Amino acid sequence: MAVRIAHLSDTHLSPRNSLFQGNFDRVAADIRAMAPDFVIHTGDLSLDGVLHHEDLAFAAASHGGLGTEVLLLPGNHDVGEAASFTGGVPVTPERVARYHSLVGPSAWVRDCPGWRLVGLNTQVLDLDTPFAADQFRLLQQASEQLEGRRLLLALHMPMAAELYDEPDSPPQWFLSRRARQRLCQAWGAAAPTLVLSGHLHQWRAPWIGATRHCSAPATSFVVHPDWQQTFGTRTVGYLLHHLHPDGRHETEYRPVPGLVCHDIIDHPSIYG
């Protein structure tokens, strides 16, 4: 029997602003009714958890009632920007430590029949710190001991637009080339079958080699084409992944009736 994973992303929740709460509540109700085996959230839980710590605690608590095990990951709005060339508030060990105390672990490994799920904190993958080294060590060890399982890797930022060796292209919608290369080195010969991500606020599922890269739509909002290149489909909702014990997998987009497709360009007071 297939393991079902509800994959949501970019909820951008806050007790200070309820604009995106209605969509989250509808998605949460849909997930509760469907009762998947796991929920994976690929980051940007909070509206601005970097500067408003209450957003982090609120977002974490909001995911407590989904009725199944929830695996959360931090995004740039939770712990800071990944690379120095973005000009945003940078990720620091203190910000990651705050995430750990208010939300929980920022990396994890779970096994289910035929599959190993590994979640990493993409925001630190550019750093030369013991903290970043821990992420690569975790992926390397998990990849070396798969014992026939397929690997599913969950990240906040998608790895690449098209190719692992493509150049960096600010504004940073994808991992840096350096972070990509370090991930490929860490998984070695055991390339993931699936890579899940968010951050784009667009739904897409391209293949790079034998790996399918599924970026979930946000539950919260899309980014207007004037502000962001088109990589996939601008919509809101979430994804449902079916993982079969023999390694087959399917992904479906769950639109959820009643969701409002907010465009962040219409709400300049939120991020400027």
Identify which of residues 170 and 247 has a Cβ nearer to Fe ion in the complex: 170
36: tokens are: 């998947």
State how far the Cα of 269 lies from the Cα of 272, in Å rounded to an integer: 6
The helix (H) or strand (E) run that includes residue 176 is none
Q: Which is nearer to Fe ion, 10 or 30 (CB)?
A: 10
Number of residues that bind Fe ion (CB under 5 A): 5
Nearer to Fe ion, 3 or 91 (CB): 91
DSSP secondary structure letter of residue 13? B
Q: Give least dist CB 133 to Fe ion, A.
A: 23
Task: Count CB atoms within 10 A of the CB of residue 205.
Answer: 16
For residue 11 the two structure tokens come to 């909820």
Q: Is 262 in the site for Fe ion (CB under 5 A)?
A: no
Q: Which of 3, 5, 8, 10 binds Fe ion (CB under 5 A)?
A: 10
**CB 108 → Fe ion: shortest distance, Å?**
19
* Residue 213: strand pairing partners: 195
Residues 118, 139 contacting (CB under 8 angstroms) = yes
Question: Binding mask 67-86 vs Fe ion (x if CB under 5 A, - otherwise)?
Answer: --------xx----------
Residue 63 amino acid letter? H
49 counts as binding Fe ion under rule CB under 5 A:
no
Q: Does 126 bind Fe ion (CB under 5 A)?
A: no
Q: How far apart are CA 29 and CA 222, in angstroms?
A: 21
Asked if residue 199 binds Fe ion (CB under 5 A), the reply is yes
Q: Does 55 bind Fe ion (CB under 5 A)?
A: no
Confirm or reject binding of residue 44 to Fe ion (CB under 5 A).
yes
Among 9, 5, 2, smallest CA distance to 241 is for 5
If binding is defined by CB under 5 A, does position 41 make contact with Fe ion?
no
Residues lying near Fe ion in the complex (CB under 5 A) are found at 10, 44, 75-76, 199
